[in-house]
Chain A
Amino acid sequence: MSDATHSGFPKRRFKVSRRMLPYVLSLPALLVCIGILIPFVTAVLYSLQRYRLSQPWARKWNWGENYWNFLSDDSFWNTLKVSMTYAFTTVGIELLLGLGIALLLQKRTKFNNFVSIMLLMPLMTAPALAALMWKLMTNPGFGILSYFAGLLGFEDFNWASDPQTAMLTVVIVDVWVYTPFIMILLLAGLRSLPQQPFEAAALDGVPRWFVFYRITLPMLTPFLLTAVLFRMIESIQQFDIIYAMTQGGPGDALTVFQVEAYLNFFQSTNVGRSAALMMILWAITYFLSNIFIKNWLRLRERQRGEA
């Protein structure tokens, strides 16, 4: 990469403006983001306070108490458990399904390209609206899926309104929306792999399962990792689908981090606990996103080097 100190550059005339230029160019974007950093700092401070909107007079510093209380707080452990279950199930299913579909559509035929474009539609649907669509389909009165469940012998299958099956229902919606993301990324990855190893293996008559495990999968790993980490970061923060579907209910069946923080803030007006919850979620996503960004930068570098 050549940079600004290129030899043929007419230096003297632009000296002052050139030094300031990058700052001038990026300053507006930075200012906008600094405006967003302030609430972040505020959230840190809130998380260290006893702060309820209903009792503003009782607001005071209690330092780590909000966090300390989590240790003996069943509903916190429930939040952690529900969030983890949601994230691991959705990403796990989406990965397997996305990889399977990508392999099915790998050949560049007109039909395959058409199908892959069609499959993007769920991904273009707002998650909150997707949840509403599935809500209409799982309505106990007229929902087509409730009808199908009845045909299969599950009378009174209540989908999201039954604590037993609420998780299943939102996981299906998440899988419906986000599998195409993994599929499209892996499909692009598969199609960008160099062909020589596959041709050589075919000439030598290597069995296809062996080619898959020993050539395809290892070469696809950077893409798999990128897709999984990215989805993991998003899935553990899922709010739209769950809130639009059940608002965290029934009971506390689906109170994942962001839903719980939202309810804490707006219903029980416990700002301190809400902020502390968000800080813990932020720590998890920060950890994941650091790995993701490094992995993704490496992948991008490699892909662009080859292109």
Chain B
Amino acid sequence: MNTISPFETVLRGIAITLVILFFMFPIFWIVLMSFQTNATILQVPPSIFFEPTLQNYRGLITGQLVTDTSSLEIRFMSNLFNSLFLSTASVAVGLMLGVPAAYAFARLKFRGSEDIAFTLLSFRFAPPLLVLLPLTIYFQQLGLANTYGGLIWVYQLIVLPLILWIVRGYFEDIPADIEYAYRIAGHRWWTTFRKIALPLAGPGIAAAALLAFIFAWNNFVFALVLASADKQPVTVGALAFITASGVQYGQIAAGIILSIAPTFALALYAQRYLVEGLSLGAVKG
């Protein structure tokens, strides 16, 4: 059988260490920065020993950016709220639209269903700006520019294909006979869908919702093009924040940490759904 030589064990150890270093160091470093004052950040050579301070986080949460010379209002917390609201609402709308459609595609094969499902999936791969640039002009005419409603609608571009295709795979895996048996027992279609199909596809719906939320949260370009400052999520807000605050590096780092913490927490909490969702259901986690 395969015996692994001590030499190889050492090599593997080194390789794993390098991998962890490369992928974890940036997060570690930005976390450190977020607890430093500008003075310690600007120190040369950089040091990992410093007196931690919470002033960056305090500044972001209270909305007052205090510098040596002046005080500046920042709306980072409203960016955070926008991210939360836009992502949650988009996923909710996406589930309401996508789950019934996924069921229709999986269970009730109808004329053109494959073509339609295919077209919907290919939306996932079209360049977003292709649609977004003309949309800016339409949104202005329709009064949808810089509204939550308009943004949630456009977010369906990311959310809907994902939900449709992952959930559809789950419905296809459920033997249809269970539903037929329930129907023969005299239950209505809607009851069957609610009591049998939905709970059985539960894990798939959870995986799709989780992934859709993360993608919506991480989206940048939709809001960059269609939202102004008061509706911007953190991804766009952080970029504007850098230009506005200039040299408040500790606060920028704290802002980045606050913006990525929710997706990290979600991913850790629901890790078993991630693999399957990420591969669009091609690989069982």
* A interface with B by C-beta (< 8 Å): 1-4, 6, 8-10, 14, 17-18, 21-23, 25-26, 28-30, 32-33, 35-36, 38-40, 42-43, 46, 100-101, 104, 115, 117-130, 132-137, 139, 141-142, 144, 147, 176, 179-181, 184-185, 188-189, 192, 202, 208, 223, 226, 233, 237, 239-240, 243-244, 257-258, 261-262, 265, 271, 274-275, 278-279, 281-282, 285-286, 288-290, 292-293, 296, 299-300, 303-304, 307
CB nearest to B117 among chain A residues: A26
Is B104 a contact of A293 with CB atoms below 8 Å? no
* Cβ A120 vs Cβ B156 within 8 A: no
Leading 8 A-B pairs by shortest Cβ distance = A126-B218, A289-B125, A25-B104, A29-B101, A42-B134, A188-B283, A26-B101, A128-B220
Q: Is the CB of A26 within 8 A of B104?
A: yes
CA distance A281 to B177 in the complex (A): 45
Main secondary structure of the interface of A (DSSP, over half): helix
The chain B residue sitting closest to A199, CB to CB, is B1
Chain B nearest CB, measured from A140 CB (Å): 12
Write the B175-215 contact mask toward A (1 if CB under 8 angstroms, else 0): 01100100110000100000000000000000000000010
Given A6-B180, A192-B283: A32 touches B235 (CB 8 Å cut-off) = no
Chain A residues closer than 8 Å to B267, beta-carbon distance: 120-121, 124
Provide the residues of chain B in CB contact with A300, threshold 8 Å: 169, 280-282
Give chain A residues whose Cβ lies under 8 Å from the Cβ of B125. 233, 285-286, 288-289, 292
A119 close to B274 (CB less than 8 A): no
Cα separation A42 to B189 with both chains bound (whole Å): 40
CA distance A121 to B31 in the complex (A): 14
Q: How far is the CB of A221 from chain B (nearest CB, A)?
A: 14
Could you tell me if A132 and B239 are in contact, using CB atoms closer than 8 angstroms?
A: yes
A119 touches B23 (CB 8 A): yes
Q: How large is the interface on B (under 10, 10 to 19, 20 to 34, 35 or more residues)?
A: 35 or more
Q: Could you list 10 A-B pairs, sorted by A, with CB under 8 Å?
A: A26-B116, A115-B19, A130-B26, A136-B30, A136-B249, A142-B46, A176-B22, A296-B280, A299-B282, A304-B172
CA distance A103 to B200 in the complex (A): 34
Contacts of A119 in B (CB 8 A): 19-20, 23
Report B241-285 CB contacts with A as 1/0, cut-off 8 Å.
010000001001100100110011011100100110011111111
Residues B97 and A28 in contact, CB atoms below 8 Å apart: yes
Q: Which residues of B contact A233 (CB under 8 A)?
A: 125
Contact across chains for B19 and A101 when beta carbons are under 8 A apart:
yes
